[in-house]
Structure 1
């Protein structure tokens, strides 16, 4: 409060004090209003960063199911509350996360894992998944309006059963973090789980051996034979012309690789390679000195090679004799990822006190679906 001059009359002094009190009260009220607005803006910002799901207001991160799971089970370990809400318990322990949190994990996975973003992903309700694929096409023919319809040849089918394994992550948080209501537990947990899942997935979708994990496309059989002569599930490759990388005419090799693929599959095809290979490819030039590499002209637009987008996948091998460092394919048609739709989480506050671990698991499988849709470049040995 400002000091009142000594010669100020008593009545005027009381009036000054009253006005000062009113000003202080107004300032305090403004501060309270500002804090309230700031809190609301933070809640809106957190909500805007989460995936939008159809189904109405109950399908938000503030729904009773999500709040019961996060505040009841994840923060405090209350199993009674989460059982009464979802009742979804995996036989190997843990609770299936609400679909809002699962969607948040899936969105993070798609942003981090390059092959998942390219491939065909199907959700399954059990560990096994099988799909029949026609290998010879369906026979047909032309007839007149009143002519007979002769029987056509029977189409040939093959069964696709992607090898699966249980993917797990085990992030930890201190109890003090969990007790802090301002701590965005569901966002942090989704990010941690997605990061670990994406690292393991990326390696398996590229080079997985199919034993308790997906069969990577580079682990599939390979051949130089064309589509008509190559066995089912066998990928075609062409040589680079040089055991140290590319020969004197790299453009021709890459163009040949593009045109080993049928025109229908080339719509939506991408190059896949790691950053080391990419650094070499960016330096390649045509005979007249022009770069093969075409940077994206607009922010968010992918860089291109021979007109097709380039995707960096660090699990692809480096350029070396006998390696397959570059893949060109329509992975939406060529590679299948099958996953059990629900991620399960087991809360473990005992193993590593004072930290609480969240053991998250998910069954994921993968395999080449159409070998005609993925082509490889081999560094000749």
Structure 2
């Protein structure tokens, strides 16, 4: 069980490795040509160790969070849960068919998973998916979701005390639609393992399904084309125009100074291209290799731009803003959209239709029992001023 003492040791380890990393990187920069090779290897190794310590820190934070999650005690929900366990292990649906009206059964077969299991899958997905960690997430009871947004304020003007008040223009409203799709997973277990009373079927199905859903969803929320899947952030039109000139629904793209590396000025430009109201809750998003590259950046006074997060729940920061690692973003290469910055909770919304369904299939691939699991999920860009894209220069 994770303790505060263990967490403190990991935090101290991050700080120690970062101090050592800074010293080694300074030597690498100042070293003569003959020494550069060995010092570069040491810097890369320390960079890797910092990433490992950060990974341990995230795991501990997840464990602490899971220990504090409340359970449920509703008698009817527990009854359905017990019946669902019998359905998973033996295929006995007699105890849950009677509750189909309340808990849900699909016309083409399959049962809604218990509320607690459904919540567990979503929580595991949130822990695994960087997009679910920072974007807005909402649940709906209908297969589709639409939202009206105000793209321009109402008109106004100055008048004298006795002047006429001419009619002003009204606010401009635009309807945005979540691009929805059905995601599925089909994990399998042997009947022998299901018969084992020590085999936790619920924990197994939730972890298997959450992993499959998370891998597919995270990529779709970033690059999905909107056809039978969410439309991802980078699938929207990118424009070099600023917020005042750019059309609603288009994201501003800034171009880095290099093709395979960025400068401190590039990061400052993307931060200040974002309006102050959005910057309060903004953060960077990039993959691990890009994080490693930004750790080496310094300002004009020789100070490192990257700082480790040493408190529980505190992310490492870059120029004072948190960093979200997302391996679905490309490495720094010519024309690649490698770094995002902004308030993702305002910029992008993930929409889940309530309920995850499971169809038990013991026939298709004997002796394995498959659990065909589906859920309807979508996503949409809700505020195109909230997120900026940093694209690498052309080759």
Calculate the TM-score normalised by the size of structure 2: 0.78
1:183 deviates by: 1.7
Matched, 1:124 2:137: no
Equivalents in 1 of 2:90, 2:156: separation in Å?
64
Out of 364, 373, 379, which is 1:360 matched to?
Answer: 373
Out of 157, 162, 171, which is 2:173 matched to?
Answer: 157
CA contact (8 A) 2:298 2:304 kept: yes
Aligned to 1:80: 94
Out of 97, 104, 112, which is 2:128 matched to?
Answer: 112
CA contact (8 A) 1:68 1:85 kept: no
Equivalents in 1 of 2:97, 2:198: separation in Å?
25
1:329 deviates by: 1.2
CA contact (8 A) 2:153 2:170 kept: no
Equivalents in 2 of 1:144, 1:183: separation in Å?
79
The 1:146–1:193 alpha-carbon spacing in structure 2 relative to 1, beyond 3 Å, is farther
Matched, 1:346 2:359: yes
CA contact (8 A) 1:207 1:219 kept: yes
Aligned to 2:317: 304
Deviations 1:255-278 (A, max 9, x none): 110111111111111110011111
For the pair shown, the structure with the greater C-alpha radius of gyration is 1
Aligned to 1:191: 207
Q: Which moved more, 1:148-157 or 1:87-96?
A: 148-157
1:319 deviates by: 0.6
Aligned to 1:29: none
Deviations 1:272-301 (A, max 9, x none): 001111111111112222211011122432
1:334 deviates by: 0.1
CA RMSD of aligned residues (A): 2.2
CA contact (8 A) 1:337 1:365 kept: yes
Number of residue-to-residue matches in the alignment = 328
Out of 55, 58, 65, which is 2:75 matched to?
Answer: 58
Equivalents in 2 of 1:74, 1:222: separation in Å?
47
The 1:252–1:89 alpha-carbon spacing in structure 2 relative to 1, beyond 3 Å, is same
> How is 1:1-381 mapped onto 2 (pairs within 5 angstroms)?
51-53=69-71, 56-58=73-75, 63-71=78-86, 73-87=87-101, 88-139=104-155, 151-246=167-262, 250-381=263-394
CA contact (8 A) 2:83 2:93 kept: no
Deviations 1:121-167 (A, max 9, x none): 12111221111111112445678999987543211111111211110
Equivalents in 2 of 1:344, 1:53: separation in Å?
21
Equivalents in 1 of 2:390, 2:365: separation in Å?
47
Equivalents in 2 of 1:53, 1:264: separation in Å?
37
Aligned to 1:45: none
Equivalents in 2 of 1:145, 1:101: separation in Å?
64
1:51 deviates by: 4.4
Equivalents in 1 of 2:252, 2:291: separation in Å?
21
Equivalents in 2 of 1:141, 1:104: separation in Å?
53
The 1:375–1:59 alpha-carbon spacing in structure 2 relative to 1, beyond 3 Å, is farther
The 1:70–1:142 alpha-carbon spacing in structure 2 relative to 1, beyond 3 Å, is farther
Aligned to 1:30: none
Aligned to 1:38: none
CA contact (8 A) 2:85 2:201 kept: yes
| Larger helix proportion of the pair | 2
CA contact (8 A) 1:50 1:104 kept: no
